[in-house]
Amino acid sequence: MHKLNLKTASEPFANSWQKNKRRFDQPSSKILQFISICLGLLLATLSLGSAAQERYPSRTVRIIVPWGPGTPPDVAARVVASKLPELLKQPVIVENRPGASGTIGLAEVARSPADGYTIGALHYSTAAIASLYPQFKVDLVKDMKGVGQMEWGHNILVVSPSLGVKTVAELIEYVKRNPSTFASAGVGTPAHLSGVMFQRATNTEATHIPYNQFGQAVLDVSTGRVTYMVLAAPAAVPQILGGKLLALAVTGPTRNSNVRDIPTVSELKLASMQSRTWSGLVVRSDTPKEVIDRLSRDIASVMAMPEVRESLAKQQIEIPMETTEQFRDLIRKDVEFGANFVRVNGIKLD
C-alpha cells in the first residue's frame, strides 16, 4: 500500500492559506478607499442633518397678539413684524387671539412648541391680573421669557366736557357729592386698574362699568353717561384734540407731548396713581438659548431703527430704552404687583 506523506500533501494548502491570510490581514488600497468614502459620506450626512436642525429660522414666524386689532400691543407688534423679516430672512405674521384679558392668546403660546416660531405679545394688564384667572396655568415669570420690550404707554384721566368739571380737584368733589361711575374695556384692563387707583388715591367711590365694546365706553364718557375714564393715551389724544373729551391728568411720569398743558398725577400730589403700561414679546422659557438670544438681538435691532421709532411715536407710543434683562425684570415686578393689587382691592371676575 502506498503511504501518503501528510507533510508533503499539506504544503499546497498551507501555502494557499498563508497567501489568503496576508490578503485578509492587509486589505488592498481599493478596499480602504471604499471604506473611507463610505465613512466620509456618513459623516457628511450626519453633519448636514445636525446643521439643518440647528438653523433658525427656516420658516414663517408668527406673533400671537392676545388683544384686538388697533390696541397698543397690536399696533406695536405689527410695526415690529414689518421689519423683523429683514433680519430673520423669513416671513413674520401677526395673529390676534383676544379674550380673557390676554390669557387666551398667551395660553396658545404656552401650548406651542418651544422652538421660537411662536412668539407672544405680553401686555402690562395681563401680567397684572393673571392671578384673576385660575384656569390660566401659565406662570408668566417661570414659563415665559422676555425677548424684547416694544413700547411704554400711559393713560389720561378724561371726562365729558359737559360734566362741568375742569380739574381733578373738581372731579373729586363731584364724585363725593354725586353717584358716579367709571368705564373700562373689562375687568383687569389698564382702565379698570387705573380707575381703582384713582379711588384709592382720592378716597372716593364710583361704580365700575366694564364694556365689551371699547368704542361704546368712550362714547358714554364723552356724552356724560359715565362720569370718568382713565383712557389709554393713543385712544384719548384724538378725542381730546377733537373736543369730545376733556383731559384732567396724565398717569405717566412726564407730560404728554400732544397735550402739554395737562399735568401729571404726581404734579397733583396723587403719586400713588402714577402708572405706565407696556407691551413686549415673549417665548416659552424652554426655547433653546441660541434662539432666544437671536430673537432678542434682532428685536433690539428693529427697535433701534429710526423708521420704527418714528412710526411708534406717531401712534402716541413711547419708545422703550430698557435692555432685555430689564424687560424681564419688569415682567417679574408687575406680576408680583398685580397679584398683590388684586388681592388687596378684592378685584374679582363677575
Average pLDDT for residues 133-160, to the nearest whole number? Answer: 95
Q: Which residue has the cell 430673537?
A: 295
Confidence of residue 332 (pLDDT cuts 50, 70, 90): very high
The pTM for the full model equals 0.79
**What percentage of the chain carries pLDDT values higher than 90?**
68
User: What CATH number does the domain located at 155-273 have?
Assistant: 3.40.190.10
Pairing of strands 92-96, 61-65: parallel
Pick the residue with more confidence: 87 or 45?
Answer: 87
Strand ranges across the sheet with 118-123: 92-96, 61-65, 118-123, 277-284, 144-153
Q: Which CATH number fits domain 61-152+277-344: 3.40.50.970, 1.10.10.10, 3.40.190.150, 3.40.50.720?
A: 3.40.190.150
Looking at the chain, which runs of residues are DSSP E strands? 61-65, 92-96, 118-123, 144-153, 155-159, 181-184, 207-210, 228-232, 246-250, 277-284
pLDDT of residue 9: 44
Pairing of strands 277-284, 118-123: antiparallel
Task: Dihedral sign for Cα 306, 312, 318, 323, please.
Answer: negative
| Domain assignments of the chain as residue spans, ordered by start | 61-152+277-344, 155-273
Answer yes or no: is pLDDT of 105 > 80: yes
- Angle, to 10 degrees, between the axis of helix 306-314 and the axis of helix 72-88? 170
Pick the residue with more confidence: 150 or 99?
Answer: 150
Confidence of residue 259 (pLDDT cuts 50, 70, 90): very high
Answer yes or no: is pLDDT of 83 > 90: yes
Q: Which residues pair with 184 in a beta bridge?
A: 210
The model's pLDDT over 23-40, given as tens digits with 9 standing for 90+, comes to 545 555 555 565 555 555
Give CA–CA dist 121/109, Å, rounded: 9
DSSP state, 324?
H
Q: Which residue has the cell 490581514?
A: 25
Q: How many CB atoms lie within 10 A of CB 49?
A: 10
Give the cell for residue 268.
397733583
pLDDT of residue 73: 92
The model's pLDDT over 166-221, given as tens digits with 9 standing for 90+, comes to 999 999 999 999 999 999 988 888 899 999 999 999 999 999 999 988 889 999 99
Q: Which candidate, 141, 324, 162, places its Cα nearest to that of 243?
A: 162
Backbone torsion region of residue 205, taken as left when φ is above 0, otherwise alpha when ψ lies between -120 and 50, otherwise beta: beta
Mean pLDDT score of the chain: 87
Answer yes or no: is pLDDT of 55 > 60: yes
Strand ranges across the sheet with 246-250: 207-210, 181-184, 228-232, 155-159, 246-250
Q: Please, how many CA atoms are within 13 Å of residue 337, restricted to the half-sphere of its CB? A: 16
The domains spanning 61-152+277-344 and 155-273 adopt the same CATH topology? yes
Answer yes or no: is pLDDT of 320 > 90: yes
Phi (first) and psi of residue 150, to 5 degrees: -105, -30
Q: Contact 66/98 with Cβ under 8 angstroms? A: yes
pLDDT of residue 26: 52
